[in-house]
Chains A and B, each alone.
Chain A
Amino acid sequence: MKVQELVDKLGLKVLSGANGLDREIDGCYISDLLSDVMGNAMEGNIWITLQTHKNVMAVASLKEMACIILVKNLVPNDETIEQSNEEDLPILQTSLPTYEIAGKVYNLLNS
């Protein structure tokens, strides 16, 4: 599944990195601890988090993740958006809390 399909099916808002919507998704990882993501996330994962600072992009980029979903309408800071656009790594936004969006992502990836 591509990031674009995830956006369409779950009604996510694309905040940045729109050129990367054709990235291929392979699984999902959820954590707000950066070292946990660094140590355990896999290439192609969706990353669901509430962290909005630039280091999120550094980790997502180094791990070659597919996209980031920010929960509860959280907004990334300018530096984060800038790097997302530079690297074509999309940051998506949902109004839902982590538990609810996680359930939807799980059902979608396993359907």
Chain B
Amino acid sequence: MHLEYQVFEADFVNAGAASSSIKKTLKQLNVNPQIVKRVVVALYEAEVNAIAHAYGGMIYADIEADKIIVKVVDKGPGIPDIEWAMQEGNSTASPEVRNMGFGAGMGLPNIRKNVDRLDVQSTVGVGTTVEMEVHF
């Protein structure tokens, strides 16, 4: 099953909508609730990242019999130092975003803790692709 969602820059009102939709689909497919919980944490963080840090982008989810693969492709600005961004506590979020309770530098570490495979590719000026896989 292939699902696609568009996310828009700074669209915090709809943050979580794609995650919620994918969660419902996984539940309908009777995926183990503990696995669904892990997918949801990772998905939400990736969705919020695209909204808070990027100029919008797309979420592609492919659900197979034994796994889900999610790819979040944003339109930039890109991450200059992925290793730095992956460390807990590091964030480039604006003060406004931090006041909402985001931008604590926990997003990417939260993703890493909850997925079986994570691949972050980024080119400054082009965009970032976060690909993650969770096995059922």
Contact = CB atoms under 8 A, between A and B. Distances in A.
Interface residues of B, number: 22
Contacts of A56: 101
A39 B110 contact: yes
Interface stretch (B16-24, B64-72, B124-132): B16-24
Interface stretch (A8-16, A30-38, A88-96): A30-38
A49 B100 CA distance: 11
Contact of B41 (A32, A38, A51): A38
A58 B16 contact: yes
A55 B41 contact: no
Contacts of B104: 33, 35-36
Contacts, number: 61
Contacts of A53: 12, 100
B13 A79 contact: yes
A33 B19 CA distance: 18
The main secondary structure of chain B at its interface with chain A is helix
B121 to A, nearest CB: 22
Interface residues of A, number: 20
B16 A35 contact: no
Interface of B: 12-13, 15-17, 19-20, 23, 37, 40-41, 44-45, 48, 100-102, 104, 106-107, 110, 113
Pairs A-B, 7 closest by C-beta atoms: A58-B16, A35-B106, A34-B101, A39-B110, A33-B104, A51-B101, A62-B40
20 contacts: A33-B102, A33-B104, A34-B48, A35-B106, A35-B107, A36-B106, A38-B44, A39-B41, A39-B110, A43-B37, A51-B101, A53-B12, A56-B101, A58-B16, A61-B16, A61-B20, A62-B16, A62-B19, A62-B20, A63-B40
Interface of A: 32-36, 38-39, 43, 49, 51, 53-56, 58-59, 61-63, 79
